[in-house]
A and B are shown apart, each in its own frame.
Chain A
Amino acid sequence: MTQRLGIVTEASLERGAEVRLDSPISVEDMVVGRYVTIAGQKRRFFGMITDVSLGVTDQRLTITPPDTTDPFIREVLTGTSTFGTIHVTPMLTISGDAESILEGPQPVKTIPGHFSAVNLASEEDIESVFGKEDSQRFHIGNPLDMETKLCLNLEEFVKRSNGIFGKSGTGKTFLTRILLIGMLQKSQAVNLIFDMHNEYGWEGSSEDSRRKVKGLKQWGQSKVAIFTLDKENSARRKVPTDFTVQIGYDEITPEDIAVLRSTLNLTDLAVEAAYQLSRRFGKGWLRETLALGEGDTPREDIDEILREANIHESSFQSLKRGLGIIRRLGFVVPQTPEDAVKNILNQLERGTSVVMEFGRYREIAAYLLVANMLSRRIYARYQQKSEEARANNTALPQPLVITIEEAHKFLGPEAAGKTIFGTIAREMRKYNVSLLVIDQRPSSIDEEVMSQMGTKITCLLDNEKDIDSVLAGVSGKNELKAVLARLAPKQQALIFGHAVPMPVAFQPVEYNERYYASLGSGNAPRKEQAEKDIEELWE
């Protein structure tokens, strides 16, 4: 039994419960964010302290305060005439009615009665809310100031698109790495990660200590394949790659160019020109267009083509300049020996997650082009497979989670309609494909996309617009805003949405040797050690 804190004296579903503290409880021990349980007559409520205040029974006490130098008077008045109150926001009912026993914690629909006793939540209570580590739940961290494990139901998590937000340097990458490892370990989903900064596949460096942290491949050998766009760069970093991705001219469509419109600084007419040229030249449009005006095509012929396609000379030049940038990317080649998409799909179908490293191609144009192009074709394949599976009543393809960074470039209000990611985010899990979006400017992401995200995890944000956009539509927004603004600048995050029963501020697990040992890869030596220990006991 945990310590009793006080009793409920006032409550409303909208504003929460007012709790008068018992006299031995010091108001200074009550910390905002602590979890408490309220024992109602029929059910128990689980809530969080959201405010702490002081009260007096008689206003005259505040006007002529008693002689507080006398310890006797101070002791008598504390908790009687002067008392502490806490404001508790009930979030869940954890036991009592049949529904919550069968289906776990339920959102609150009522309030506890007068004088219901309020206790600090025990470890078991918190565990019953956030779950134990099991085959589906993955330990991602601990609620702030608490030893209890916060476990995320990854099976639920991957069913919808999710977002990880936070200012630069607040630990988004670490959080993402933990989640990806969790997904590899505990969920049926396969991952496709567009790793712009080469952080996830193989070793990355931690920001503070410059020590190396292991990547996905290092602990999930057989379940992870690293694809690279830049073989030399990967080789230099001693990353064992499985495949070098090259993109042929034929594979780039005018849609891909449309996505890059603002990045390549193209005019609308130039994008239109790309469509016109593709209509005229067919699949080889990019090669043909690049060849136009180079070599020995007579000027008249070019003019003729442009006139026929109804393209203005300046639009054509703008397009050519843009295409020139694409051509200069080392991985774009006239002919590819192997089809990258087919290769990725093969891996994914085998249940192997794919990390796509970009090597030295860190410009946003390369990232947008590759991520969008590959995802579109993979998504199309998934769509086709899902539809076939539904028609034939066979198993749906394994869920796929696509991780993208700098997401606002894909999902901005202007781009969301054009990129495949906008479609995936909106259509959600219909075809078993969802997104894991990583971004530092959530306010630049299209509202509609944001509203479709299942679970959001956010590290510290301090831009008002970003905070508003992340918290849009969440109940208790103002209280969460206060929590979000008080997060430490590093390694603290707030999670809310579909996969957790209630919003929680938490500290992600430390990503170090101990962590590796606790993961599946450490099981064998641990078992051996345990057996050794048992033997020693009998000696």
Chain B
Amino acid sequence: MRTGDIYAIVYNATTSSLEPGRKPLARGKDEATEEDVYKSSPQLTKLLRSEFEAVAVGCREGESLRYYLPAQPARIHAFVYLCQPDEVKEFGQSFGFLDILANASLPIPTEELIAAALRQMSRAQDNPQAFLVAAGKELAALLSNQYDRLKTILGRLS
């Protein structure tokens, strides 16, 4: 995703009640489809809120992409966009972001995140397989003394 000049990779998403501490009730016992749940209780769309978290992996400085953290954080109320395939393709020209991901301390396993991000990015490439191999080689160099992590990621890429 992109906000302003900052590129980030989504690592977490939650949907919860607007009121903190209040858990959504189970509904739809008598409904045939999930859509019917929202049709019969239209207030739900107003009472639930979806949030996602993303880790910044790069930014744009003028024409060029930088694979390091931006000087300023994203502004409040800045709009967030989903990156288009050609943006993803451009961002995937270099693997500098892998270093940031591999060393990020996140509440989820970073191996899963790296593998998922690479799988997603490969779809925007002309040659997905070559992209994954190149990324794998970059990771092999990055995790040269962490064979177990490397093995986990590679296992999720093939």
A in complex with B: yes
Residues of A near any B CB (own CB < 8 A) = 23, 57-58, 60-61, 66-67, 70, 72-73, 75-77, 79-81
Complex contact A72–B157 (CB within 8 A): yes
B19 within 8 A of A: no
B132 within 8 A of A: yes
Choose among A60, A61, A73 the residue that contacts B154 (Cβ–Cβ < 8 A): A73
Q: A57-B144, A77-B140 are in contact. Are A72 and B133 (CB under 8 A)?
A: yes
Q: A66-B151, A70-B158 are in contact. Are A76 and B133 (CB under 8 A)?
A: yes
Complex contact A80–B140 (CB within 8 A): yes
Q: List 21 A-B contacts (CB under 8 A).
A: A58-B144, A58-B147, A60-B147, A61-B147, A66-B154, A67-B155, A72-B129, A72-B133, A72-B154, A73-B158, A75-B133, A75-B136, A76-B133, A76-B136, A80-B136, A80-B137, A80-B140, A80-B141, A81-B144, A81-B147, A81-B150
B148 within 8 A of A: yes
Query: What's the least CB distance linking B100 to chain A, in Å?
Result: 20
Q: A58-B145, A60-B148 are in contact. Are A72 and B137 (CB under 8 A)?
A: no
B134 nearest CB neighbor, chain A only = A76
B129 nearest CB neighbor, chain A only = A72
What chain B residues lie within 8 Å of A58 (beta carbons)? 144-147
The number of residues on chain B lying at the interface, defined by a beta carbon within 8 Å of a beta carbon of chain A, is 19
Choose among B137, B145, B146, B147 the residue that contacts A76 (Cβ–Cβ < 8 A): B137
Residues of B near any A CB (own CB < 8 A) = 129, 132-133, 136-137, 139-141, 144-148, 150-151, 154-155, 157-158
Complex contact B145–A57 (CB within 8 A): yes
Q: A60-B147, A66-B151 are in contact. Are A81 and B140 (CB under 8 A)?
A: yes
A73 nearest CB neighbor, chain B only = B154
What chain A residues lie within 8 Å of B146 (beta carbons)? 58
Instruction: Please measure, in the bound complex, the distance between the C-alpha atom of A75 and the C-alpha atom of B129, giving whole angstroms.
Output: 11
What chain B residues lie within 8 Å of A57 (beta carbons)? 140, 144-145
Query: What's the least CB distance linking A410 to chain B, in Å?
Result: 63
Instruction: Please measure, in the bound complex, the distance between the C-alpha atom of A187 and the C-alpha atom of B96, giving whole angstroms.
Output: 64
Instruction: Please measure, in the bound complex, the distance between the C-alpha atom of A219 and the C-alpha atom of B110, giving whole angstroms.
Output: 80
Complex contact B145–A23 (CB within 8 A): no
What chain A residues lie within 8 Å of B154 (beta carbons)? 66, 72-73, 76-77
Complex contact B151–A76 (CB within 8 A): no
Instruction: Please measure, in the bound complex, the distance between the C-alpha atom of A66 and the C-alpha atom of B129, giving whole angstroms.
Output: 19
Query: What's the least CB distance linking B66 to chain A, in Å?
Result: 25
A71 nearest CB neighbor, chain B only = B158
Using A57-B140, A72-B129 as known contacts, list a sample of 19 further A-B pairs with CB atoms less than 8 Å apart, ordered by residue number in A.
A23-B137, A58-B144, A60-B147, A60-B148, A61-B147, A66-B154, A67-B155, A70-B158, A72-B133, A72-B157, A72-B158, A73-B136, A76-B133, A76-B137, A76-B139, A76-B154, A79-B137, A80-B144, A81-B150
